[in-house]
Chain A
């Protein structure tokens, strides 16, 4: 059996015995049951598998699980705190910024990553940050609105 790999996901410690080359995405979904992170292409082209690695948005399909060891990982399951949605999640609900919503986890995490480094992004900056996230249903304008709303809420709450 492979040497155990320690992961810190959403503030919780996990030990997995996967092949170290296994993509983080497969470990999250298949080993740990964290299926909120989606497979869309496995090629780093669609953003559905986006997680925060050390706070920065990364494509979990492109990261071998061994490279994620000892770094903090945030998935969509880790954003809600004490039954309260993260302002970005709340903004997506408020703006109805989804149709099939399969891209939503990745959109939200990319947006959370953006707002952590750029608290009041322009539309152009949001577009730049989300250019790697595909939405096939065409909900882009609402996603843009949701990120603007979340930025405003986060700024007002001083988070």
Chain B
């Protein structure tokens, strides 16, 4: 994350939050059974804790030794009910359902008998965060392994009961059966009166996808009824006895510091608590309105610092790049000089992406409650354990005195990795001596959250007369390294990320820098195809040997009807693709340009996606189509405007996101590879949208869009 005038040391992906501390496993096994009742429990103990946590924290929190790492566990109760625990968060991506499918599948029980307990730092194992499309590839195998080990325990218990060898027994439909005699015992019966716990043997075999029975099916989302009746409680919906409502006085601009303030009038208001702590001023009151009134009555003076504006954004990024770059963020293969010398066509172009906002419909929210020095916070975060650590650090209390509970929340898209509202609510609650809820306004969400980083991408390339790539040089300034490499075969290449000062607080966004890098690369590939006078798909396939990427290109093209004939004025077609985070994607788009008004409409999209074995086809389809629609916003019209430390369009009225009328006909073609492990699917399907639309726009209009958003105000008034 960055603020004004801060230069960061480049790292493999600077905008994915990293380096979370690891904590002790707090729920002793003894207490575990007290909490859940007797039964059978299995704990997954990772052989290599760092690998299991996928993001390699480098130091123990509070300088403690790293604990033995428990990454998942499950419990089978005397009633046969299965409870599985994971630190992951349900944010709309459907993991509550798909992980329960995984557990049911491996344990050989009905889907309905599995309950997932998620994202509660007191109950669930440490988890780095629900980020990077990692829930499926890391959590799914871990849960499968615990479920598989639990199955073995149940079979063992039955064998002991019947005094037979375990080998001949089978586990299916929630019971263990002895085929020799036909007798069987339900899991609940086997668990009765036991407090049997096992640590997981590290490498248990798991059921291969072609033998799945519960996984691989389109099981409807868990709790669907609660969502359509308003019964589900999202973080902003939670209430505690005696709770007050908190508001924070925001500085007039980023980085402003408080020079003086007068809160006498506000302090005199009935039932109002004012907190002043450093540059933080907040109020808590019996309702939100009174808290706001109190803030309005405070006279505060701020010292502001001059800051760049969006008008000069791209030159600012270039001018503030770290001189000489950094060896760790560049690599070279072959010789660019030779590659360019061998080329029949050479091309140089610059592409840009603006800052955009996640704008999750649920803003940041938290309820904080102190009880004898211990803090409980209910909040909406993709990283509840990181929020726990932020709180512990901020209030100088041990992590064991902080509990963060994260209800299934109103999404995040990478935008809720921090604990801002949690810290604010906790600070106010400590002063008030009562629970306090803080819900950010939409304007606060647009201003004080963080953004998808803006970036400048420069490409220099060459192709031979037959269309074969001979040289590829790619520079990314600021937006990041995700998918910075080209998937195409090029003997001579130079790829480099340039760290720069970043004028706005930036962080993860669905797909990270891959949306920017895909846009630049796939737009440029389209330009090269035209230089070579080749069909854009044919040109890509010629330069591609990765069979999985070829397969999605071909699948998208087939379903879309590529190559398409133009039958209407203003019609255009585009294609783009790539791979990232273990997922392979290709998108075809059709746009319609109204030549008289300049209005651009995306008429049709087909996205083919492959992420290994599919766990829940319907849930996956929902994610893929959703990502395509969200991607249209950043492609066409989303851009954060800023000036001197202020966001100048912090409202849905001035920051345009896709609405019903913007949504084209969209088809998702899902390739199910049962021979491959499941990868995540939350991010990669967004990546090819912008370049496919841009390439279609060029096809329709002859104007090459090289900046995102492409047409914030239609084609005639477009920015770049």
Contact = CB atoms under 8 A, between A and B. Distances in A.
* A and B assemble together: yes
Interface string B420-464: 000000000000000000010110000000000000000000000
B660 A89 contact: no
B229 A89 contact: yes
B289 A101 contact: no
Interface string A54-91: 00000000000000000000011101100001000110
Q: Which of B231, B619, B626 has the most CB of A within 10 A?
A: B626
Interface in B577-629: 618-619, 622-623, 625-629
B630 A36 contact: no
A102 B224 contact: no
Interface stretch (A27-35, A114-122, A151-159): A27-35
Given A35-B230, A99-B626, A137-B630, A41 B651 contact: yes
Interface residues of A, number: 58
Nearest to A21: B289
* B interface residue count range (under 10 / 10 to 19 / 20 to 34 / 35 or more): 35 or more
A3 B663 CA distance: 47
**Interface majority SS (helix, strand, loop, mixed), chain B:** loop
B361 A136 contact: yes
Nearest to B618: A96
Given A48-B361, A131-B661, A43 B413 contact: no
Contacts of A92: 224, 227-228
Nearest to A29: B237
B622 A142 contact: yes
A114 to B, nearest CB: 12
Interface in A108-155: 108, 126-127, 130-144
A135 to B, nearest CB: 7
A138 B630 contact: yes
Nearest to A104: B227
Interface in B76-95: 91-94
Nearest to A48: B361
A131 B658 CA distance: 10
A96 to B, nearest CB: 6
B666 interface: yes
Contacts of A138: 625-630, 658, 663
A23 to B, nearest CB: 9
Contacts of A53: none
Contacts of A48: 361
Given A102-B410, A131-B661, A45 B651 contact: yes
13 contacts: A29-B237, A35-B234, A45-B442, A75-B230, A76-B228, A77-B229, A100-B361, A100-B409, A100-B410, A101-B227, A131-B660, A136-B413, A141-B666
Interface of B: 91-94, 220-221, 224-225, 227-234, 236-237, 239, 245, 287-289, 358-363, 408-411, 413, 439, 441-442, 618-619, 622-623, 625-630, 651-653, 657-661, 663, 666
Q: Which 5 A-B pairs have the closest CB atoms?
A: A36-B230, A100-B92, A138-B629, A102-B410, A138-B626
